[in-house]
Amino acid sequence: MENWIENFIDFMPILLKGTVYTVEITVASIVLSTVLGFLWALALLSRYGLLQKTMRVIINVVRGTPLLVQMFYVYFVLPDIGIQLTALQAGIIGLSICYSAYHAEIFRAGIISISSGQWEAARAIGFKNYQIMARIILPQAARTILPPLGTSFIILLKDSSLASVITVRELTRSGQLLASTTFENMQVFTLVALIYISLTQVLAYFIQNLEKRFKIP
Amino acid sequence: MIVQLDNIKKSFDQLKVINGVSLEVEKGQVLVIVGPSGSGKSTLLRVINALEPIDSGQVIVNGVNVHSPGIDIYRLRSEVGMVFQNFNLFPHFTALDNVAIGLRVVKKLPMKRCREAASVRLADVGLADRSHHYPSQLSGGQQQRVAIARALAMEPKVMLFDEPTSALDPELVGEVLEVMRKLAEKGMTMLVVTHEMGFAKEVGHQLIFMDEGMIIEKGEPAEVFNNPQQNRAREFFRMIL
């Protein structure tokens, strides 16, 4: 037990350093994938057929390839065409593109769940399309959007561990390195798992609060 | 002449929904539009505030050619109030904010002033005590009155009513018609699609009967009811009166 505590004091700074990277990647990717996902959803709902069909193809390609392959692509293939990215940047971009495709579908589902009468009523008052989206549609669609979006955020957080394979020293990678040098597999990976659980709990709590804000009587 | 329609034509694919309709409504007049379902009544209303584009013809509202390119359609729509069969209130806003939101978003007034103006409108339709209720907490009749207040808050020059009482329980129809009657008395120009013949006779100045996208009867409401010229209209009135 004494040994465990000593190890804990040694291990935690290293693991927490990795945690900082994990949080960085996750927050950046959540923001980017959500913004992109919303834009993709608008393209999917566009009345311009060409835009709509192109977007559909892109989303199907992104949804149809593994995240790991996408990360390899961003990190190892893009330099061949002159785009140099750090491992961290590559990880964020890979995650963001992958999840933007899922988020696009979540937004699209939420937006089309609102009856056309809402658009019509707002239009008749003199609202412009973006005003209808911001003031009328999204606040109502949030009820259907947030639960799946929140789940997706949690999966994204866990999938940030895949950035370890393109050398980002995030939480999982830190744990791996630590375990391979100390052979304290059980303790290291238990701590890693506990840190992930704490992070996902914080995220889940944040999403629940957001959901409460959009409750409609 | 505040509303003028000139030989309007409109098709959805092969179906001619409006087939050459012309009409004029003077300021302060109430025009009642009746006809069987699918006769183009609703589309005709939606053409007036350009919710629906037209294939040919001309719509002039308060001197503005509604379907000409380059006009400020958003401003025009704010000057033409519309009330829907299914109310279409915004469920995430209170009654007060449903009425205030147009002033806030379209006229960009400060929220405090919007709410002040909105509470006056709610009082006008007899719902001062329901300001902080959400639509789901109101009866159908109350919801429709909020919807009327919402349209009136924009200070429209014309009001369009698309079967405003058709989705209501019979005992709630009266309160909505009463609000509309008062509005007409105050001199509002109104175009009303309705099957409430009592209201049409009492409040309407003009009545048109539409069938298959055309006006087939036109005149003073009582006159058209009592002495329809066309078989189609005669049959229709026999069914609903």
> Bridge partners of B189?
B158
How is chain A split among helix, strand and coil, in percent rounded to 5?
85, 0, 15
Q: Is the pLDDT of residue A113 over 90?
A: yes
Measured between CA atoms, the residue of chain A closest to residue B99 is A125
**pLDDT tens track for B119-150:** 999 999 999 999 999 999 999 999 999 999 99
SS3 assignment, position A85: coil
Judging contacts by C-beta atoms under 8 Å, the chain B residues touching residue A217 are 134, 136-137
Residue B238 — very low, low, confident or very high, per pLDDT cuts 50/70/90?
confident
Judging contacts by C-beta atoms under 8 Å, the chain B residues touching residue A47 are none
Query: Is A120 part of the contact surface with chain B (CB cutoff 8 Å)?
Result: yes
pLDDT for the residue B167:
95
Window 169-198 of B, Cβ < 8 Å to A: none
Judging contacts by C-beta atoms under 8 Å, the chain A residues touching residue B136 are 216-217
Neighbours of A5 (CB within 10 A): 9
CB contact under 8 A, A140 and B106: no
- What ipTM was assigned to the predicted interfaces of this complex? 0.94
Measured between CA atoms, the residue of chain A closest to residue B86 is A117
**Strand order of the sheet with strand B64-65?**
B15-25, B3-12, B56-61, B64-65
**pLDDT tens track for A48-85:** 999 999 999 999 999 999 999 999 999 999 999 999 99
CB contact under 8 A, A125 and B102: yes
Residue A1 — very low, low, confident or very high, per pLDDT cuts 50/70/90?
low
Judging contacts by C-beta atoms under 8 Å, the chain B residues touching residue A139 are 92
SS3 assignment, position B51: coil
- Return the number of CB contacts < 8 Å for A and B: 64
> Bridge partners of B23?
B5
Neighbours of A203 (CB within 10 A): 18
Residue A130 sits at the vertex; the CA angle it makes with A127 and A133, to the nearest 5 degrees, is: 90
Residue B58: phi and psi, rounded to 5, are -145, 135
Query: Is B74 part of the contact surface with chain A (CB cutoff 8 Å)?
Result: yes
Residue B110: CB partners within 8 Å, gap ≥ 6?
none
Query: Is A113 part of the contact surface with chain B (CB cutoff 8 Å)?
Result: no
Judging contacts by C-beta atoms under 8 Å, the chain A residues touching residue B82 are 121, 124
CB contact under 8 A, A128 and B150: no
CB contact under 8 A, B75 and A131: no
Query: Is B91 part of the contact surface with chain A (CB cutoff 8 Å)?
Result: yes
Distance (Å, whole) CA A78 – CA A80: 5
SS3 assignment, position B65: strand
Q: And the tokens for A192?
A: 């890693």
CB contact under 8 A, B74 and A128: yes
Measured between CA atoms, the residue of chain A closest to residue B73 is A126
Distance (Å, whole) CA A160 – CA A171: 9
Q: Are B45 and B193 in contact (CB under 8 A)?
A: yes
Judging contacts by C-beta atoms under 8 Å, the chain A residues touching residue B155 are none
Measured between CA atoms, the residue of chain B closest to residue A136 is B90
Find which of A125, A131, A138, A144 to mutate to test the B interface (most B CBs within 10 Å of its CB).
A125
Pairing of strands B206-211, B56-61: unpaired
Please give, rounded to a whole number of angstroms, the shortest distance from the CA of A50 to a CA of chain B. Answer: 21
Please give, rounded to a whole number of angstroms, the shortest distance from the CA of A158 to a CA of chain B. Answer: 34
Q: B140-153 and B95-105 are packed helices; what angle lies between their axes, rounded to 10 degrees?
A: 20
Distance (Å, whole) CA A100 – CA A35: 8
CB contact under 8 A, A135 and B105: yes
pTM score of the predicted model:
0.91
Q: Are A108 and A184 in contact (CB under 8 A)?
A: no
Pairing of strands B64-65, B80-83: unpaired
DSSP letter string over B187-241?
A: T-EEEEE---HHHHHHH-SEEEEEETTEEEEEE-HHHHHHS-SSHHHHHHHHHH-
Section B163-168 average pLDDT:
96
**pLDDT tens track for B26-60:** 999 999 999 998 899 999 999 999 999 999 999 99
